[in-house]
Structure 1
């Protein structure tokens, strides 16, 4: 399974679970929709940041030169688009079939176009932020190690 497909499927499951939980919460407590919405969005964002950070750390450790880094931008963009499309399609089907009425009330074109776009950005932007932070952390460690090695070589006593 390609890396973007795995990320897209897992993020679809996370997004679908978040929407199901949000839908059930809205049905049971309609006046608390806003806090529940923010919590579910935050969960999706945190998962994307953490996984993106892990990708960034792995990539920075594998390539010492930033010019050799893998293109994680396209990987996470594809994953976000897949997650958006699958989660919106499943949520629309479940919501209109009457299994969970609070999950989606938009028409099919709106759900697919606007929902997919929103979820794609909800996955892509935090994941890319995580990738960047992971790379920065590893690059900082690599620079400190280089400076320490350089300082050791310059402090060696000169034999006469």
Structure 2
């Protein structure tokens, strides 16, 4: 199984659940629509950001040389595109036949506009998380290398290290 497929399917589920909960919240408390929308988007973004960060940390630890890093950009782009199209289709079906209130758009609008928006909601935070995760690991590696260099220097010249 491709590494982007489980990410895309999980992000699809996160988006659909957020959208259904958003629909319930908006129907029950229509005066707080902006708050509910913000929470739903933040949930999708947070999951993508954290998962991307975990991917970045794992990749940087597995490959100490940045030239050997895996291509997390394409992995998360594919996951975002899958999540966008599938979540758009599921949301359209749910809104049309099961649960009124989660969307009134046509199938074309759900797949193109909604899918693009969802793809960006997944891709951009995941890519950012991966970059931050890699940066954190590289920073820790540089600190460890600097500590090793200092200790080696201290062993060779004990008088200079003490001052």
TM over 0.5: yes
Corresponding position: 1:60 with 2:60: yes
- Output the TM-score relative to the length of structure 1: 0.96
Q: Partner of 1:14 in structure 2?
A: 14
Deviations 1:39-61 (CA, angstroms, capped at 9, x unpaired) = 01000111001000000000000
CA–CA separation in structure 2 for the residues paired with 1:10 and 1:107: 24
CA–CA separation in structure 2 for the residues paired with 1:141 and 1:125: 24
Matched ranges for 1:1-160 at <5 A: 1-97=1-97, 99-157=98-156
For structure 2, which runs of at least 5 residues remain unmatched after alignment?
158-163
CA–CA separation in structure 1 for the residues paired with 2:34 and 2:13: 22
What secondary structure, in the 3-state scheme, does the structure 1 residue paired with 2:105 have? Answer: coil
Mapped contact 1:8–1:82 kept (Cα < 8 A): yes
CA–CA separation in structure 2 for the residues paired with 1:96 and 1:136: 44
Mapped contact 1:25–1:36 kept (Cα < 8 A): yes
For structure 1, which runs of at least 5 residues remain unmatched after alignment?
none
Moved over 6 A (4+): none
CA drift of 1:157 comes to 3.6
Mapped contact 1:24–1:100 kept (Cα < 8 A): no
CA–CA separation in structure 2 for the residues paired with 1:107 and 1:14: 22
Deviations 1:95-140 (CA, angstroms, capped at 9, x unpaired) = 011x211111111111110000000000000000100010000000
Larger mean CA deviation between 111-120 and 26-35 belongs to: 26-35
- Corresponding pairs, count: 158
Deviations 1:52-77 (CA, angstroms, capped at 9, x unpaired) = 00000000000111111000000000
